[in-house]
Structure 1
């Protein structure tokens, strides 16, 4: 999302609004954006969020060794030197085989030497099996035919000492009321991920907006009733993260969609290397510089 400075007189703010023809701007707009920025950081720092990730990777078919020692396929901070193995079979099943069960629990209960690990499922609504050791825990995720390891520790430095974001100045002219153009026939948007995988996602329409005399379009994904835009622009790779930025908007109303680029945000993979993110599809690569929202993250992972 976006964050930055405050503008002076309300009269000057009103002038900026009229020149850029954005949506009508609330009087307390600067404060509302500042509050939204603060809320985003607070949400990121919640327990078990992606700031707690300390290790990750994709399982290979067969045996994958895990533990803190350097000779493991997956080196996990603060785990026993040789925790055990994760065995992936041809059906996608993952078996955990522990070298020693002392101090380890599965879903909060004492563990047997061998356990089958549940993923989040194809729907994403299943609770993955959690294997805990010390302040950390591991679990397995699925992405199509792939199975991946994720490890979290709520004492991870990125979570406990999150450095925050840099922002462009809050500019009301980037709060834009776009036209919503529904598609008469079903369409899909091809989303590519940094892992090289792709998926076709249904989309219902597009947002069309105007800036500096030019017309631009963005295609959103529906996410729990909200519109989710994965986009990039001419600041990408320079002032902002190169792969994409994210923007959320409320569902269309009366043929309009409110696009507030001051709330454009870094994707998780810009903050931690342990998250897989989508790349901006070609249709959403804007040929203008969106100087609003979060800038490139300058924390521990860049």
Structure 2
């Protein structure tokens, strides 16, 4: 996906760190409400737990279906779903008439599919399953979901550290003018150059630390931190944890590590998660947020 520079550049603040202030009196309830919404999204019928496939398309015709012998063998759905044609203009799907599948809710025989680089990717549905086309660099894949996926129906829940208000940190925001770029590797082996509008600087146990956020898309309204720390690979997921924060106000960005959460790759092998860059591997144990998923087999 093409990403534009972050447009809102804040002034550089020269103090080394803004001390954390007392959390609101209802802070625990606020975090519990956030955790409940996080769990609800994760367990939704088309949430990350429903993934059952990540199948890369080859140039030309790709037969799709659950029967052996298809170029792409689905884990759910009709024996013959159709044919996906990948050319320089994107992906076109020709549906088998007997498949009883729909594209964006319509019974059609053939349609060009919008990929996830666009605002609303096309959704192909068949029974309890569906897929969209994702684009990563110049490669295209089918991201397949099923609301009856075992990862969803047998989900073991989330383990978390106790809520700790001391991990709600008001960090100094140092803006980059102009914004910089940072290479973000991902779990499928490719690298994305993403926009970095500045850095968050904070202290913990007498030491100073920095985190670089990236901007996910031109219309993003929050800063996105992909981080690792000394708990990674031990008590927490090794590849990274994610954290969002509102853009800085008056030179301060609030890093609430109680909201640090696992990427989709912690639950399924069919996601394309970014990995924590070296710049965001903290030399401190962040004992807040989500722990490693105990139901993972990867």
Question: Could you tell me which residue of structure 1 aligns to residue 106 of structure 2?
Answer: 109
Question: Could you tell me which residue of structure 2 aligns to residue 71 of structure 1?
Answer: 69
TM-score by length of 1: 0.84
The answer to whether structure 1 residue 239 and structure 2 residue 235 are counterparts is yes
Q: Contact 1:62/1:87 (CA < 8 Å) preserved in 2?
A: yes
The answer to whether structure 1 residue 292 and structure 2 residue 288 are counterparts is yes
Q: Contact 2:64/2:73 (CA < 8 Å) preserved in 1?
A: yes
> How many Å apart are 1:244 and its aligned residue?
0.7
Unaligned runs of 5+ in 1: 1-20
Q: Contact 2:187/2:275 (CA < 8 Å) preserved in 1?
A: yes
Q: 2: CA distance between counterparts of 1:186 and 1:266?
A: 27
Question: Could you tell me which residue of structure 1 aligns to residue 132 of structure 2?
Answer: 139
**Cα RMSD for the two superposed structures:** 2.0
Q: Contact 2:81/2:101 (CA < 8 Å) preserved in 1?
A: no
1:152-301 → structure 2 map (5 Å cutoff):
152-223=145-216, 224-299=220-295, 301=297
**CA 1:102–1:217: 2 relative to 1, 3 Å:** closer
Q: 1: CA distance between counterparts of 2:162 and 2:264?
A: 22
Q: Contact 1:101/1:111 (CA < 8 Å) preserved in 2?
A: no
The answer to whether structure 1 residue 93 and structure 2 residue 101 are counterparts is no
**CA 1:57–1:78: 2 relative to 1, 3 Å:** closer
TM-score by length of 2: 0.85
Deviations 1:33-55 (A, max 9, x none): 22211111112233422222222
Question: Could you tell me which residue of structure 2 aligns to residue 15 of structure 1?
Answer: none
**CA 1:92–1:211: 2 relative to 1, 3 Å:** same
**CA 1:242–1:102: 2 relative to 1, 3 Å:** closer
Moved more, 165-174 or 41-50: 41-50
> How many Å apart are 1:133 and its aligned residue?
1.6
> How many Å apart are 1:102 and its aligned residue?
4.3
Q: 1: CA distance between counterparts of 2:195 and 2:184?
A: 10
Q: 1: CA distance between counterparts of 2:101 and 2:221?
A: 40
Q: 2: CA distance between counterparts of 1:25 and 1:115?
A: 52
**CA 1:180–1:107: 2 relative to 1, 3 Å:** same
Q: Contact 1:52/1:155 (CA < 8 Å) preserved in 2?
A: yes
Deviations 1:235-288 (A, max 9, x none): 111111111100111111111111111110001111222211111111101111
What is the SS of the residue equivalent to 1:247? strand
Q: 1: CA distance between counterparts of 2:69 and 2:296?
A: 25
**CA 1:103–1:174: 2 relative to 1, 3 Å:** same
Question: Could you tell me which residue of structure 2 aligns to residue 60 of structure 1?
Answer: 58
Question: Could you tell me which residue of structure 1 aligns to residue 7 of structure 2?
Answer: none
Question: Could you tell me which residue of structure 2 aligns to residue 8 of structure 1?
Answer: none
Q: Contact 2:114/2:121 (CA < 8 Å) preserved in 1?
A: yes
Deviations 1:165-206 (A, max 9, x none): 101122222111111111233311211111122121122110
Q: Count how many residue pairs are aligned between Structure 1 and Structure 2.
A: 277
Unaligned runs of 5+ in 2: 1-18
